[in-house]
Structure 1
């Protein structure tokens, strides 16, 4: 709070419910002079209409002032009434970036007197594809304080804010559940995009001595079909799809048959339309995509018997918020693994792939931001070696 009141730019990282919104509301209220408003002094950007309304309601709840000079812009519809209110004078404007930009271009939003711009739920703003309007609004405002609140810090966040943040203070709140759930060993690969996920999976599956029985979860049957065709041809005889979308795909409808059949090494399962499966006896579980329901992921990693099972998750920057929520629930963090040195990283800009160890020019993609010193390691084990070491340690 003291840094905010001191006018410093802030990047605040913390889980939902950690008090981020309350903190900036208190700072905004303490800075208001409650004079007759002319042009807005504070612009708050939120990812959707629901968040906009929740922020406005929270302002009224905390201030207990029904005459508070604040407006929440609708995400769509006519702008005329909103522009009239803005012209009459409002101190605090809460809006989605798209709506604020649209009203600004209609000359209805005066940014000349803005002294604070706040981006709430920044990770969701990015996920909703509103990076460009955020940048345009900030550039249109004169010199002011910038406060950015997010559940996760990643490269896409920095791509959005680094151009306008001035010597920001990074404040992180790590909150995990007080009670740790008994879960299997969890490992996380951070990757920039879907294609690189496929490249990574192909790279890992080359080690058939370690990954001798694997289940790979995706979200849809269409993705399951696409992934099955995208894996190396050498795996064709080893891959089966659980209740596939198309009859011509090599399929299986009973997980027990997969466990018993030695020729079947890789089972691809779509979360879509699939009931809870008995995963006992499967040493390696891969989440190629983050399930839409976080409870689905948690249910699969909870240790249900004495057998050792390792869980690997692939996540892009946009999926990291769901990982944070899961970690908060189970009371433990996933161990982040380094990507293989020779992994081909797909670049949408270039339309091709590059080797990770050749990519030192800052274009590795969204997930490749510099590690914090506290998280950096002096070793680099591949997933196969890590799996061997973990299993060996568990078995004593």
Structure 2
């Protein structure tokens, strides 16, 4: 599909063509008209689907001209590296330097960043925590913001940026909200529900055209770590089926913790690969573990495991998905005719990693039904209990807000806005059986 279908300006089309982009991405075709029409949008797509270019183009089109004294677009991203990536995309497409764009991250003095903002700016690209800190210092004026973008939103939840994102959203009386993410899940939905207004949810899927031949893979989607532990206890209690198992976690500390929690640490056939403590039983070699009849389960940390062939291991369980998708793919890639099943325990926070794996291997992983007798841990009661520290933070925030309100002149009655734009309908989640 041609770029002309996106209704972009001629300078932006020329800039895209000069960068080698001669046709529009699917996510751009499905979202651009809605964004340019002013609608709130939740755009879901895998890595490399064109999400960043989409909102950069849309922001430049929505603002039309630069030269403002206060920011009209706020783009929130999870890392300093992402700040630089977005700034580079703006620089490539904002060829005439029409807009003044400022990047905000935690590695520069905050006073310098306040000066950069007060000198006049059109677009701010920032990490949420630093943007909030500057806002509370009266250095970030949100009164004129027309577009607020949250990029890599699922990663934002994983990094714990819900509070600053919601505070910044509440500070803006009325604007368009754009959410870009690889996956949509309950925790993310809860974060954005308070400020999205009747959003359109648009999802695109881009799997590799060449499917990788793999061993059988199944996923168990569970809500939290404790339920993962219950599931592993339940499966491993069947010693006839699970007679030789390797369990992968990400860190040695998790491996050690897991070995003590499984069967209350009383099982004599569960071991840790290269344990942290010298006096604990374990194995320094996968090959030695394979030939020992009394050793049934070996817990391996990705961080200290030199990859070896998993032949003669009928079950591989990823209690945690590795951060490096290729570690996982190399383990499940079929190299010979053996019986091997990979079972993967997934929480909402690991869905982005799962998406990257599925995109690379060119196939969706089948979801297994959870056992009927599995105990699903409900952590909501404990998480809702506020600690003294949390209450103190709330008190400090109330004082900061009172100070901020006192620093600005009250609005004229004619300019006061009474419409509540925070009561929009809850964004609909994609609840397909497979993670589409």
Matched, 1:246 2:246: no
Q: Where do 5+ consecutive residues of structure 1 fail to align?
A: 353-368, 378-396
Q: Residues 200-253 of structure 1: CA distance to partner in whole angstroms, max 9, x if unpaired?
A: 101111222322221111222222221111111596122122222223333233
Change (3 A) 1:270 1:85: closer
From 315, 331, 342, the equivalent of 2:362 is: 331
Partner of 2:219: 188
Matched, 1:178 2:209: yes
What TM-score do you get using the length of structure 2 for normalisation?
0.77
Distance 1:64 1:147 in 2: 24
Matched, 1:204 2:235: yes
Q: Is the 8 A contact 1:239 1:250 kept in 2?
A: no
Relative to structure 2, which stretch is displaced further, 163-172 or 255-264? 255-264
Relative to structure 2, which stretch is displaced further, 2-11 or 73-82? 73-82
Partner of 1:382: none
Deviation at 1:49, TM superposition (A): 1.6
Relative to structure 2, which stretch is displaced further, 332-341 or 113-122? 332-341
Distance 1:46 1:375 in 2: 29
RMSD: 2.3
From 252, 255, 271, the equivalent of 1:221 is: 252
Matched, 1:140 2:198: no
- Secondary structure in structure 2 of the residue aligned to 1:339: coil
Partner of 2:195: 164
Q: Is the 8 A contact 2:256 2:272 kept in 1?
A: yes
Change (3 A) 1:54 1:372: closer
Distance 1:83 1:234 in 2: 54
From 99, 107, 115, the equivalent of 2:146 is: 115
Change (3 A) 1:83 1:8: same
Matched, 1:126 2:157: yes
Q: Is the 8 A contact 1:242 1:267 kept in 2?
A: yes
Matched, 1:301 2:326: no
Change (3 A) 1:159 1:328: same
Matched, 1:93 2:124: yes
Normalized per residue, the structure richer in helix is 2
Distance 2:434 2:64 in 1: 46
Deviation at 1:103, TM superposition (A): 1.2
Partner of 2:344: 313
Q: Residues 18-54 of structure 1: CA distance to partner in whole angstroms, max 9, x if unpaired?
A: 1111111111111223254132111110112221121
- Secondary structure in structure 2 of the residue aligned to 1:350: helix
Q: Is the 8 A contact 2:227 2:375 kept in 1?
A: yes
From 375, 383, 386, the equivalent of 2:433 is: 375
Distance 1:110 1:234 in 2: 55
Deviation at 1:349, TM superposition (A): 4.3
Matched, 1:272 2:303: yes
What TM-score do you get using the length of structure 1 for normalisation?
0.85
Change (3 A) 1:376 1:271: closer
> How many residues were matched structurally?
361
Deviation at 1:101, TM superposition (A): 0.8
Relative to structure 2, which stretch is displaced further, 271-280 or 181-190? 271-280
Relative to structure 2, which stretch is displaced further, 189-198 or 112-121? 189-198
- Secondary structure in structure 2 of the residue aligned to 1:343: coil
From 88, 91, 97, the equivalent of 1:66 is: 97
Q: Is the 8 A contact 1:76 1:99 kept in 2?
A: no
Change (3 A) 1:22 1:156: same
Matched, 1:79 2:79: no
From 84, 105, 116, the equivalent of 1:53 is: 84
From 31, 37, 60, the equivalent of 1:6 is: 37
